C-alpha cells in the first residue's frame, strides 16, 4: 500500500514540476490579465437600472441575497475591481489582492447572473486565486523588489489544469448525453441554423457555413467539439497532451466565435500559463538563430579580410 | 546529491528530474526553487500531503459538478462550462420558440421590436432570459415598477408616442437546419399587458 502511495506521490510531484511555469513568465501573464480586467471591465451598472422584480438569484451562495444591488453597491464593486486589478498590475501585496479580486469578480458576476443568464466565466473569475498560489507576483512586481525570491510553484498549476479540464468536461458530457454522438443528428449545424433564423446574433462565417451541405463535414464538427472538450480530463495527466488539447480548445473558441458569435477570448489568458515551455522553446530558438547569424556574419567578415 | 538545477530559461520552471520518495531521491527541495537542503522524510511527507490534497480537490470538483447538474437552474458559483444543449432530431429539425413583440400606441400605430431592443437596459446575454422569466413564465409577477419601466421602454421605441398595450407572442416551432428557416405552424402562446 505504501509503495502505491509513494509512487502516486512521485507522479504528482513530477506532474507539478512539469506544469510549473517560470516566475518571469507567470508575471507577464499577471500583467496581461490585470490589464484586461482594467481595460475591458464587464458593465455591472445595468443591474441597478432595471426593476427589482427581475432579480431572482439562482441556487448557491447568492440565493441568500434577497434584494437586487443598488447603484452604490455596484459602483463600490466596480471600483474595488479596478483597484485590485491595479494593485495586481504593479504587483503590490499580490497574493492578497489576487484573492480579493476573485472575490469581487465572483460577487459581481453572481449578482448579474441573478437575472436569468449564467455566462460561464467562472474560470476567468477564479483564475487570480490559483495564480496567486502559483506565484504570479514573484517577478516584475513591487513584492519581488521587497522580497527578491523569484519562485513559482507547480502544484497550484496542476490544480488549475485539473479545474480547466473538468470545466471543459462539463461542457462535453451533456452534449454526449443530448444526442451529439448520434451520426444522424447534426448539432453544430443546428445551432448555426437557429441563430441565422433568429437573426439577433450571428457569427461572421455562419452564412457561408450554411452553404456547406456535406453531412460528413457537419458531423465531424460535432465529434471534434466533443473530443476537444472531453479528452482533457485524461490529457491532464500528460502535460504535453494537455497543452496540445488547449491549443485545440483555442481553435475551438475561434470557431465558435466565427460561427456563433460567442466571444470567449478572455479565456485565452487562462490557458496562457500552460504555454511557458512553448514560449521558452521559441525564445531559445530565436536566441540560437541570432547567435548563428552573428557567427555567419563574423565568418564572412573574417574571409573578406 | 540534489537533483534540482537552477532555471536556465526565462519561462520554464526549474526541473527536478524524477523527484521521488525512495531513499535515492534528492535531498534538495525542488519546491518553489528554494535550494536549501531538506531531509528526505520531510519531502516525503510533503509529497504525500500534496497527493492527498489533489485527491480531495478532485473529489470536491466532481461533487460540486454533480450537484450543479442536479440543480435547476444551474447554481453559481460552480465549475462548469456552457454545454449548448441537445442536438436537433434525425429529420434535421431543431425545436425552437419564435418570439414576436408588438407594442400598440394611442395613435393606432404598432411597432415590432426585437427582444434585445425592448430589454436594452439589460446586458445582452441577460435580456432574453429576463424577458422569458418576467413576461412568459409563471414565477414572476409584473408589479407597478415593472409596468412603469415597460411603459418607458414603449415610449422610447415609439419615439415619444404613448404606448397602450404590449403583446408577447411565442410560437413553438422548429428550425429546418438545412435552410435555416422556421417551419410554418406551431402552437402560439400569447400574453398581453395593458400599459
The predicted-structure confidence for A45-93, as pLDDT tens digits, reads as follows 999 999 999 999 999 999 999 999 999 999 999 999 999 999 999 999 9
Domain containing B155: what range? 93-194
Residues A141 and A209 in one domain: no
Q: Is A236 near chain B, with CB under 8 Å?
A: no
The pLDDT value given to residue B100: 95
Q: Is A148 near chain B, with CB under 8 Å?
A: no
Residues B165 and B113 in one domain: yes
Question: Which residues in chain A are contacts of B133 at CB distance < 8 A?
Answer: 54, 56, 116
Indicate the pLDDT class of residue A301, thresholds 50, 70 and 90: confident
- Are B20 and A13 in contact (CB < 8 Å)? yes
- Are B54 and A178 in contact (CB < 8 Å)? no
The pLDDT value given to residue A235: 97
Q: Residue A211: CA atoms inside 13 Å, Cβ hemisphere, count?
A: 3
Residues A149 and A241 in one domain: no
Sign of CA dihedral A259, A278, B10, A154: positive
Interface size between A and B, measured as CB pairs under 8 A: 270
Residues A171 and A299 in one domain: yes
Residues A124 and A98 in one domain: yes
Q: Which of B177, B183, B184 to mutate to test the interface with A (most CBs of A within 10 A)?
A: B177
The pLDDT value given to residue B2: 40
Question: Which residues in chain B are contacts of A257 at CB distance < 8 A?
Answer: none
What would the mean pLDDT of B157-176 be, rounded to a whole number?
95
Taking CA atoms, what residue in A is nearest to B47? A9
Residues A111 and A175 in one domain: no
Is residue B10 classed as helix, strand or coil in its secondary structure? coil
pTM over cut 0.90: no
DSSP code of B33? G
Q: What whole-number distance in Å separates Cα of residue B161 and Cα of residue A24?
A: 61
DSSP code of B87? P
Q: Among A153, A183, A206, identify where a domain stops.
A: A153
- The total domain count for chain B is 2
Taking CA atoms, what residue in A is nearest to B122? A46
Indicate the pLDDT class of residue A104, thresholds 50, 70 and 90: very high
The pLDDT value given to residue B35: 52
Q: Is A234 near chain B, with CB under 8 Å?
A: no
DSSP string covering chain A, please? -HHHHHHHHHHHHHHHHHH-B-HHHHHHHHHHHHHHHHHSPPP-GGGGTS-GGG--PPSSGGGG--SPPPHHHHHHHHHHHHHHHHHHHHTSSHHHHHHHHHHHHHHHHHHHGGGS-----HHHHHHHHHHHHHTTTSSSSHHHHHS------SHHHHHHHHHHHHHHHHHHHHHHHTTTT-TT--HHHHHHHHHHHH-SS--TTHHHHTT---HHHHHHHHHHHHHHHHTHHHHTTSHHHHHHHHHHHHHHHHHHHHHH----GGGHHHHGGGGHHHHHHHHHHHHHHHHHHHHHHHHHHHHT-
Residues A142 and A202 in one domain: no
The pLDDT value given to residue B9: 45
**What is the CA angle B158-B160-B166, rounded to 5?**
40
Average pLDDT of the residues of chain A: 93
Domain containing A110: what range? 22-153
- Greater model confidence, B151 or A296: B151
Residue A236 lies in a domain: yes
Residues A149 and A53 in one domain: yes
What would the mean pLDDT of A246-264 be, rounded to a whole number?
94
Question: Which residues in chain A are contacts of B66 at CB distance < 8 A?
Answer: none
Q: What share of chain B in percent tops pLDDT 70?
A: 80
Is residue B151 within 8 Å of residue B103, measured between CB atoms? Answer: no
CA B108 to chain A, closest CA, distance in angstroms equals 27
Q: Is A200 near chain B, with CB under 8 Å?
A: yes
Residue A8 lies in a domain: no
Q: Is A126 near chain B, with CB under 8 Å?
A: yes
Residues B32 and B49 in one domain: yes
What would the mean pLDDT of B169-174 be, rounded to a whole number?
95
Residues A170 and A192 in one domain: yes
The pLDDT value given to residue A3: 85
> In chain B, count of helices (H) and strands (E)?
4, 5
The pLDDT value given to residue A50: 96
Residues A144 and A221 in one domain: no
Q: Among A107, A129, A153, identify where a domain stops.
A: A153
Query: Residues B29-64: pLDDT tens digits?
Result: 444 445 555 668 888 888 999 999 999 999 999 999
Q: Is A54 near chain B, with CB under 8 Å?
A: yes
Nearest to A53 among B13, B57, B146 (CB): B146
CA B41 to chain A, closest CA, distance in angstroms equals 12
Residues B78 and B136 in one domain: no
Q: What whole-number distance in Å separates Cα of residue A294 and Cα of residue B59?
A: 55
- How long is chain B? 195
Identify which of B6, B14, B10, B5 has the alpha carbon closest to the alpha carbon of residue A286: B10
Nearest to A10 among B18, B86, B126 (CB): B18
Residue A287 lies in a domain: yes
The pLDDT value given to residue A37: 97
Indicate the pLDDT class of residue A305, thresholds 50, 70 and 90: low
Question: Which residues in chain B are contacts of A51 at CB distance < 8 A?
Answer: 143, 145-146, 148-149
Question: Which residues in chain B are contacts of A187 at CB distance < 8 A?
Answer: 84, 86-88
Q: What is the ipTM of this complex?
A: 0.88
**Counting Cβ atoms within 10 Å, is residue A36 exposed (0-12), middle (13-18) or buried (19+)?**
middle
Residue A2 lies in a domain: no
The pLDDT value given to residue A304: 75
Q: What whole-number distance in Å separates Cα of residue A136 and Cα of residue A24?
A: 8
Q: Among A127, A153, A179, identify where a domain stops.
A: A153
C-alpha cell at A115: 437575472
Residues B79 and B126 in one domain: no
- Greater model confidence, B18 or B129: B129
CA B123 to chain A, closest CA, distance in angstroms equals 7
- Are B21 and A171 in contact (CB < 8 Å)? no
CA B65 to chain A, closest CA, distance in angstroms equals 8
Amino acid at each position: 500500500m505504501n509503495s502505491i502511495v509513494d509512487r502516486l506521490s512521485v507522479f504528482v510531484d513530477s506532474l507539478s514540476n512539469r506544469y510549473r511555469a517560470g516566475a518571469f513568465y507567470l508575471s507577464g501573464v499577471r500583467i496581461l490579465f490585470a490589464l484586461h480586467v482594467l481595460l475591458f471591465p464587464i458593465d455591472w451598472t445595468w443591474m441597478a437600472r432595471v426593476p427589482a422584480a427581475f432579480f431572482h438569484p439562482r441556487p448557491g451562495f447568492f440565493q441568500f441575497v434577497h434584494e437586487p444591488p443598488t447603484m452604490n453597491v455596484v459602483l463600490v464593486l466596480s471600483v474595488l475591481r479596478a483597484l485590485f486589478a491595479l494593485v495586481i498590475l504593479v504587483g503590490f501585496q499580490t497574493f492578497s489582492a489576487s484573492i480579493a479580486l476573485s472575490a469581487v469578480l465572483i460577487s459581481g458576476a453572481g449578482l448579474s447572473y441573478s437575472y436569468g443568464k449564467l455566462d460561464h466565466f467562472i474560470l476567468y473569475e477564479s483564475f487570480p486565486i490559483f495564480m496567486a498560489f502559483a506565484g504570479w507576483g514573484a517577478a516584475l512586481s513591487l513584492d519581488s523588489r521587497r522580497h527578491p525570491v523569484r519562485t513559482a510553484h507547480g502544484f497550484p498549476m496542476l490544480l488549475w489544469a485539473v479545474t480547466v479540464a473538468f470545466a471543459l468536461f462539463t461542457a462535453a458530457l451533456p452534449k454526449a448525453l443530448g444526442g451529439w454522438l448520434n451520426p444522424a443528428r447534426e448539432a453544430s449545424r443546428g445551432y448555426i441554423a437557429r441563430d441565422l433564423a433568429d437573426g439577433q446574433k450571428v457569427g461572421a462565417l455562419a452564412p457561408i457555413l450554411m452553404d456547406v451541405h456535406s453531412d460528413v463535414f457537419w458531423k465531424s464538427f460535432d465529434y471534434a467539439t466533443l473530443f476537444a472538450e472531453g479528452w482533457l480530463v485524461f490529457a491532464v495527466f500528460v502535460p504535453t497532451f494537455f497543452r496540445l488539447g488547449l491549443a485545440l480548445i483555442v481553435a475551438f473558441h475561434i470557431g465558435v466565435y466565427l460561427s456563433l458569435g460567442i466571444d470567449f477570448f478572455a479565456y485565452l489568458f487562462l490557458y496562457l500559463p500552460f504555454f511557458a515551455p512553448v514560449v521558452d522553446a521559441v525564445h531559445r530558438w530565436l536566441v540560437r538563430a541570432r547567435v548563428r547569424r552573428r557567427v555567419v556574419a563574423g565568418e564572412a567578415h573574417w574571409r573578406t579580410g | 546529491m540534489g537533483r534540482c538545477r537552477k532555471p536556465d530559461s526565462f519561462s520554464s520552471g526549474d526541473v527536478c528530474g524524477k523527484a521521488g520518495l525512495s531513499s535515492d531521491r534528492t535531498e534538495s527541495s525542488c519546491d518553489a526553487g528554494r535550494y536549501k537542503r531538506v531531509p528526505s522524510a520531510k519531502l516525503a511527507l510533503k509529497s504525500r500531503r500534496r497527493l492527498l490534497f489533489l485527491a480531495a480537490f478532485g473529489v470536491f470538483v466532481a461533487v460540486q459538478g454533480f450537484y450543479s447538474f442536479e440543480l435547476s437552474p444551474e447554481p453559481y458559483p460552480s465549475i462548469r462550462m456552457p454545454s449548448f444543449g441537445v442536438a436537433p432530431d434525425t429529420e434535421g429539425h431543431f425545436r425552437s420558440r419564435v418570439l414576436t413583440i408588438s407594442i400598440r400606441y394611442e395613435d393606432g400605430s404598432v411597432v415590432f421590436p426585437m427582444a434585445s431592443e425592448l430589454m436594452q437596459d439589460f446586458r445582452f446575454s441577460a435580456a432574453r432570459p429576463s424577458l422569458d422569466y418576467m413576461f412568459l413564465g409563471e414565477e414572476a409577477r409584473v408589479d407597478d415598477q415593472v409596468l412603469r419601466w415597460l411603459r418607458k421602454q414603449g415610449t422610447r421605441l415609439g419615439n415619444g408616442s404613448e404606448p397602450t398595450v404590449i403583446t408577447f407572442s411565442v410560437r413553438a416551432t422548429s428550425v429546418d437546419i438545412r435552410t435555416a428557416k422556421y417551419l410554418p405552424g406551431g402552437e402560439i402562446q400569447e400574453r398581453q399587458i395593458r400599459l
